[in-house]
Amino acid sequence: MSGIAILSLIFGGLVGLLVIGMPIAFAFATVTIVSIIFLQGWGAPLQSFVLSIDSGVTNFTLLPIALFVLMGELLWQSNIANKALSAIDKWFGRVPGRLSLLSVASGTAFSALSGSTLANTAMLGKMLLPEMKRKGYADGMSMGPIIASGGLAMLVPPSTLAVFYATIAHISIGALLIALILPGLLLACCYGAFIVISCWLNPALAPREESSDFNLKEALRELVIYILPLSVVVFSVVGVIFMGIATPTEAAALGCVSSLIMAFCYGGLSTRKLIDAGMGTVRITGMMLLIMAMAIGFSQILAYSGGGRELVGFVSTLSLQPLMLIGLMMLVVLVLGCFMEQIAIMLITLPIFVPLLKLIDADGVWFAVMMLINLEMSLMTPPFGMLLFVMKGVAPDGTSIGSIYRASLPYLAINGLVIALILFNPWIVTILPSIMK
């Protein structure tokens, strides 16, 4: 049997198991074990697979996954985010689409503190959506920006998915985290520009408020109390990596400690909340690390089957332009994103994509950023985007899922636009890692 036929069987089996609802980690384990038995036989190869679980997880560079999650959980549980949101609100006067812009600004700020897209979206939705609805904001100016900016949490460091990606694709975790800063801010700026222009062209989308609340003294006071201290947390993660003071793992640990100190200083962390933060961390970390443990064995069996090599050889005979090949890879991710979960997409596609990228000599970090933005889109693509359902959960009764789908469409288009912008302007991604110490 040819390598590509084996590869097709492996992927077919995997997709079949995923579709019947088998947990992702065990679907990978099942396919790997069955492939080992058929290709390598019973006995020692299975023992090697079990040992790959050990070597797959006992990896210092995976520790940021746990620590970034813990950091975010501590900050969410302590309610600092609520206070910060109110402080950011003080800085928006009578700009068109004030609440929409507030959701983008605070969504971006919280993204720099936590990697949880679900928590980000749920919190913004709970806090801002009722007021937006009361003031007559259109869906595209209320639910749309909340979904879009909530999704930024998986891009802007600390991003657990970026760590996961970098580990699987064997690229520098620090460089990827730093490379994601500009594209994340670019996305936020594009969302903001879209909101302002749309509301300026059609004021009915977001009715202006009657009186101006802006009070410089009050705004400055809240900035100093609630926003500036949070920048210490952001610096303890991103700043120390950028300045070369600490590795991403060490930066993540410092981020946890500074978040804990911050949470205690603001008095929002009871014993109950501390326990909730810990168990919330275990819930996400345990799930991700188990998938990671299975990924090693899976990629080993893919390599053994020879299918990946044959596929790369086949693609090289097609003489595709590098940009066209990358465009095709992005299309595959986009289509998979409509139906599948991000980690599964990474594990399925990266063992094939990474050799293809080497074939065309593409920058791994540049591609990673585009793929992560694409994966962020999968959180808001109909019909199964997770954030659409989070929004449905926090939206007022009677909000149809169709209206949520429509609200997210312009922001999906913006994401696509930013991917295209990065595709033709790689410096947006490479500039910060190149000046990093």
Partner 1 sequence: MNRAYNTFLDICGGTSAILIAFCALAVSLDVILRFFGESLMWVFEVTELLLLYVTMLALPWLARERGHICVDVLVNNLSPANAARLDVCTNMAVAAICLLITWWGGLSTVDAYSRNLTNDGLVQYSLWISRIAIPFGFGLAAIEYLRLSAQSARKGVSK
Query: Distance between the two ends of the chain, CA-based, in angstroms?
Result: 49
Q: Please state the closest distance from residue 88 (CB atom) to partner 1, in A.
A: 28
List the one residue out of 300, 282, 273 whose CA is nearest residue 35.
Answer: 300
**Interface positions with partner 1 (CB under 8 A):** 18-27, 29-30, 33, 46-47, 49-51, 53-54, 57-60, 62-63, 66-67, 70, 246, 249-250, 252-254, 256-257, 275, 278-279, 281-283, 285-287, 289-290, 293, 339-341, 343-344, 384
Nearer to partner 1 by Cβ, of 61 and 79: the residue is 61
In whole angstroms, give the CA distance from residue 288 to residue 294: 10
Say how far apart CA 131 and CA 172 lie, in whole Å: 43
Taking the C-alpha atoms of residue 407 and residue 35, their distance in angstroms, rounded to an integer, is 44
Provide the residue count of the chain: 437
Measure the CA–CA gap between 126 and 118, rounded to whole angstroms.
Answer: 12
Pairwise CA distance, residues 263 & 281, whole Å: 16
Q: In the bound complex, what is the minimum distance in angstroms from residue 221's beta carbon to partner 1?
A: 31
* DSSP secondary structure letters along 159-180: -HHHHHHHHHHT--HHHHHHHT
Question: What's the token pair of residue 198?
Answer: 């749309």
Closer Cβ to partner 1, 59 or 79, answer by number: 59
Q: What minimum distance in Å lies between the beta carbon of 172 and partner 1?
A: 18
Instruction: Output 141 or 177, the one with its CB closest to partner 1.
Output: 177
In the complex, least distance from residue 390 CB atom to partner 1, rounded to whole angstroms: 15
Instruction: Identify which of 338, 295, 350, 310 has the alpha carbon closest to the alpha carbon of residue 31.
Output: 295
Secondary structure of 387-432 in the HEC alphabet?
A: HHHHHHHHCCCCCCHHHHHHHHHHHHHHHHHHHHHHHHCCHHHHHH
Nearer to partner 1, 27 or 84 (CB): 27
Distance of CA 437 to the CA centre of its chain: 25
Closest separation in Å from C-beta 225 to partner 1: 25
**Taking the complex as a whole, how short is the minimal distance between the CB of residue 223 and partner 1, in angstroms?**
28
Is residue 326 classed exposed, middle or buried when 0-12, 13-18 and 19+ CB atoms within 10 A define those classes? buried
Residue among 105 and 336 whose Cβ is closer to partner 1:
336
Query: CA torsion sign, 211 to 212 to 218 to 219?
Result: positive
Task: Tell me if 82 sits within 8 A of 266, measured CB to CB.
Answer: no
Query: In the complex with partner 1, which residue's Cβ is closer, 22 or 182?
Result: 22
Residue 415 CA to residue 379 CA, distance in Å, equals: 12
Task: Tell me if 57 sits within 8 A of 167, measured CB to CB.
Answer: no
Nearest distance from residue 376's CB to partner 1, in Å? Answer: 17
CB-nearer residue toward partner 1: 187 or 284: 284
Minimum CB–partner distance for residue 182 and partner 1 (Å):
26
CB 384 to partner 1: min, Å: 6
Rounded to the nearest whole angstrom, what is the least distance from the CB of residue 315 to partner 1 in the complex?
A: 27
CB closer to partner 1, 47 vs 319: 47
| 50 vs 331, beta carbon nearer partner 1 | 50
Provide CB contacts within 8 A for 43, sequence distance 6+.
Answer: none
333 vs 344, beta carbon nearer partner 1: 344
Task: Check: CB of residue 190 under 8 Å from CB of residue 414.
Answer: yes
